[in-house]
Amino acid sequence: MAAFGSFALLIALALAAYNLLAGALALRLLVSGQPARFSPERLADTARRAGIAGFLAVSAAAFALIWSVFANDFSITYIMEHSNRALPGAYKFSALWSGQEGSLLLWAWLLGVFGFVLRLTHKTDVRLYAYAGTILAGIQVFFLAVLNFAAPPFALLKGAIPEDGNGLNPLLQYPEMVIHPPLLYLGYVGFSVPFAFALGALMMRYPGEKWIKVTRAWTMVTWLFLTAGIFLGMHWAYAVLGWGGYWGWDPVENASFMPWLTGTAFLHSVMMQEKRGMMKSWNVWLIFSTFLLTLLGTLLTRAGLVSSVHAFAQSSIGNWFVAFMLIVLAVCIFTYVLQRSHLKSDHHLESLVSRESSFLFNNLVLLTACFVILWGTLFPILSEYVVGNKVTVGAPFYNRVAVPIGLFLLFLTGVGPLLPWRATSFKSIRRNFVLPVIALWGTVIVCFIAGVRVWRDGAFSTGDFYALVAFAVSAAVFVAILSEFLRGAGVIARQTGRNLFVATWLLTRRNTRRYGGYIIHIGVVVVVMGLAGAAFNQNQEKELGLHDKLLIGPYTLECVGFTQDSNLNYNSEYALLDVYKGGAKQFQMTPEKRVYLASSQPQTMVAIHSVPSWDLYVVYEGTNPDSGQPIIKAFLNPLVGWIWAGLVVMVFGTFVALVPSLTPASAALRVPAVRTVPTEPALKGGD
């Protein structure tokens, strides 16, 4: 299988190279209009077919690697390093993306999938799709060249073939790691498609904003994959690493967050281009930057440039990625300079108090956050280059800067829906902002009554202050969005006699993109409230003998036993803890520590009990070598479950936004036309 997989990758590279060269030549001939000895259309079609065949070749290589994993072919170095005989089947499958070479093969395969779908739908707009397909082929050539020459996944082991492999990294032997990396990669690779369309549309001076409409669904689905991947990574860190948190500003966490920030900015700002013909250059560079940041994220993760529990060891592919990123940047700059006259805005900002300005400020805040995170992530690398040693930037730096930025962004999330396009009046502002302001100050009062204090022990508490602001602004944003739904639904309910629930559904179906976006914003509010709960975390650590107790919050943990177990994959030891609340036993928890046999590496298995108010999070930290008794660390983490609930709301909102809105004719059959009021933005047809 090693020879078959290597040959498939070589064939895939040849096909991708032909797709790139033939596609570029065909487009050049079509643009020049000069007579040629062969048909440019025919040449372009052969390039497209080569792209489809290339996808089949990459698929064959991916299949060969997976087959070899399940066949325990330890003659292949990659499989020897990332699998073993006792590894469960699901984790054998995940070995495809558990190492550097396999994950790059996954990148290439997913790019092939997206290119395959794009090439099958090429008749939608043949010329634009030809440009995009050729650009995707150029990206594919790079990844296949890396797989063939720098990081071959089918490299054979030198020397004697071992009876068993080293096994999968214990940190990756967790159910979420079967789906978390593929989701992240679907997000990373997916942004290649809008990038290719944007660059292709700019090269051919494509008229209007049609390329944005063509790629809207691609971009939203890609953003959804990246969002879900980031949150699953947070949950993995929370449930596996055993430190009681879910986001530590790790460099690889940052690497996935940065393209999410610029991608989110792009999704917002393209509305201004579609609605008002504004920010054309801005949008092009947003999607260019997003694609470059996905390459940077892959570089940081796969080349081991930074220290991270997610990153791989140092490797030679870093130079390949840096060179490719420089080539992409040069092509983007050259194309933009050559065609910048095509990107002149049709309108200009008329008022600072308008929906356009809220989108603009939203973009500026997102890009500021991205720059801060990029600077902090690359600072150790830059410092080593300049002064000879790495200077690490820790979580306090990010929190000092990112938290205020995030709160201001949350504020803009609530303000934007309340402002109409172009300009607004003071009367409209006063009417639309009354309820959100009442909700804000009402929440502040409730928080003070509940015991939130910004002054503790004679000192200013930054954590409590930020939590108070987060709760208050979240309440205001939620009320602002809810009022938008109720205002429009109320009009429909009065005119049709339907109940408010049905009227809300009809309102949403009339403009799914807009109201789906509002649902996503509600999900963001829920996530922020979950994050704010971290200001009130508690933790206790204690050595527990038999029937010893540990108190934390309303819970009492009693040790009723500690024991050991083993199987073919790992040995484990764990504690049995009865949990009491109010003197009555509620449940039992079994935190565990494992040592995997193949790698001799330890792994913490956290016990978590979740309720809407908090998580009881218990870690078995090992045994005291002197007494032989378990050491237990317990955390009480308020509102953590809200973070994962917020993700569910965001996913639902994205699906709503992807559903086509009712056409005017269909809407007329379901509900009479609603008379719009200029000062009521909820009743406008625009986004």
The full 3-state SS of 454-519, as one line of letters, equals CEECCEECHHHHHHHHHHHHHHHHHHHHHHHHHHHHHHHHHHHCCCHHHHHHHHHHHCHHHHHHHH
What mean pLDDT comes out for the span 623-643? Answer: 90
Is the pLDDT reported for residue 678 higher than 50?
no
Same domain, 330 and 416: no
Q: How far apart are CA 589 and CA 578, in angstroms?
A: 7
* The pLDDT of residue 11 is above 50: yes
Query: 276 and 384: one domain?
Result: yes
312/188 same-domain check: yes
Same domain? For 459 and 550 the reply is: no
CB-count burial class (<10 Å; 0-12, 13-18, 19+) for 660: exposed
Q: Do residues 191 and 335 share a domain? A: yes
- Confirm whether 434 is domain-assigned: yes
d(CA 23, CA 45): 8
Handedness of CA 160, 163, 165, 166 (dihedral sign): negative
Q: What gap in Å lies between CA 172 and CA 541, rounded to an integer?
A: 27
pLDDT at 686 over 60: no
Does residue 140 sit in the same domain as residue 14?
yes
- Among the candidates 119, 149, 167, a domain finishes at 167
pLDDT of residue 656 exceeding 80, the answer is yes
Using the predicted structure, report yes or no on whether residue 442 has a pLDDT greater than 80: yes
What are the tens digits of pLDDT across the range 62-84?
Answer: 999 999 999 999 999 999 988 88
What are the pLDDT digits (tens) for 176-211? 888 888 999 999 999 999 999 999 999 988 876 778
Residue 50 has pLDDT above 70, yes or no: yes
Closest CA to 56 of 94, 15, 86: 15
> Measured between alpha carbons, how far is 624 from 412 in angstroms, rounded to an integer?
51
Are 333 and 233 in a shared domain?
yes
CA 200 to CA 188: how far, in whole Å?
19
Q: Per-residue pLDDT for 599 more than 90?
A: no
Q: Give the range among 143-157, 534-548, 671-685 with minimum mean pLDDT.
A: 671-685
Count up the domains in the chain and report the number.
4
How far is 64 from 72, CA to CA, in rounded Å? 12
pLDDT band at 304 (very low <50, low <70, confident <90, very high): low
Convert the pLDDT of each residue in 111-160 to its tens digit. 999 999 988 887 777 888 899 999 999 999 999 999 999 989 999 988 88
Q: Above 70 in pLDDT, residue 434?
A: yes
The sign of the dihedral angle between the CA atoms of 367, 369, 370, 371 is positive
Claim to verify: residue 361 and residue 240 sit in the same structural domain: yes
Sheet holding 538-543, edge to edge: 538-543, 630-638, 614-623, 607-610
Rg (CA), the chain: 28
Average pLDDT of the chain, as a whole number? 86
Query: How sure is the predictor about 677, in pLDDT bands with cuts at 50, 70 and 90?
Result: very low
Strand partners of residue 588 = 578
- The helix-helix angle for 100-120 and 192-203 (nearest 10°) equals 50
Q: Is residue 519 part of a domain?
A: no
- Of 151, 167, 183, which one is at a domain's C-terminal end? 167
Residue 316 reports pLDDT greater than 50: yes
Q: Are 231 and 644 in contact (CB under 8 A)?
A: yes
Report d(CA 331, CA 184) in Å as an integer: 26
The burial class, CB within 10 Å (0-12 / 13-18 / 19+), for 146 is buried
* Same domain, yes or no: 240 and 381: yes
583's torsion region: left (phi>0), alpha (psi -120 to 50) or beta? left
The answer on pLDDT for 669 being more than 70 is: no
In a domain, 532, yes or no: no
Based on DSSP, count helices (H) and strands (E) in the chain, helices before strands: 20, 12
Task: Using the structure block, give the residue that is written with the tokens 């050991």.
Answer: 564
With a cut of 80, say whether residue 92 has pLDDT above it.
yes
Q: How far is the C-alpha of 545 from the C-alpha of 551, rounded, in Å? A: 14
Our CA angle for 242, 532, 257, nearest 5°, is 70
Q: pLDDT per residue over 372-413, tens digit each?
A: 999 888 888 788 777 777 777 788 888 888 899 999 989 888
Q: Which of 140, 167, 194 is the last residue of a domain?
A: 167
Partnered with residue 573 across adjacent β-strands are: 564, 593
The region of weakest confidence among 338-352, 434-448, 575-589, 636-650 is 338-352
pLDDT at 131: 92
Cβ atoms < 10 Å from Cβ of 362: 20
By mean pLDDT, which of 31-35, 383-387, 556-560 is the weakest? 31-35
In a domain, 530, yes or no: no
pLDDT at 427 over 90: no
Q: Is residue 91 part of a domain?
A: yes
Do 325 and 224 fall within a single domain? yes
Asked whether residue 462 carries a pLDDT value surpassing 90, the answer given is no
Evaluate whether residue 307 is within a structural domain: yes
User: Based on the domain organization, do 383 and 449 belong to the same domain?
Assistant: no
Helix 462-496 to helix 395-415 angle, to the nearest 10 degrees? 20
User: By three-state DSSP, how is residue 546 classified?
Assistant: coil
- Indicate whether 63 belongs to any domain: yes
Backbone angles phi, psi at 378, to 5 degrees: -90, -10
Out of 123-127, 213-217, 294-298, 576-580, the most confident range is 576-580
Q: Do both 300 and 384 map to the same domain?
A: yes
**Predicted local distance difference test score (pLDDT) of residue 420:** 65
Could you tell me if residue 151 is inside a domain? yes
Residue 559's domain spans which residues? 537-641
Q: What is the pLDDT of residue 522?
A: 95
Residue 232, both tokens: 């699953």
Distance CA 609, CA 602 (A): 23
Q: What percent of the chain has pLDDT over 70?
A: 90
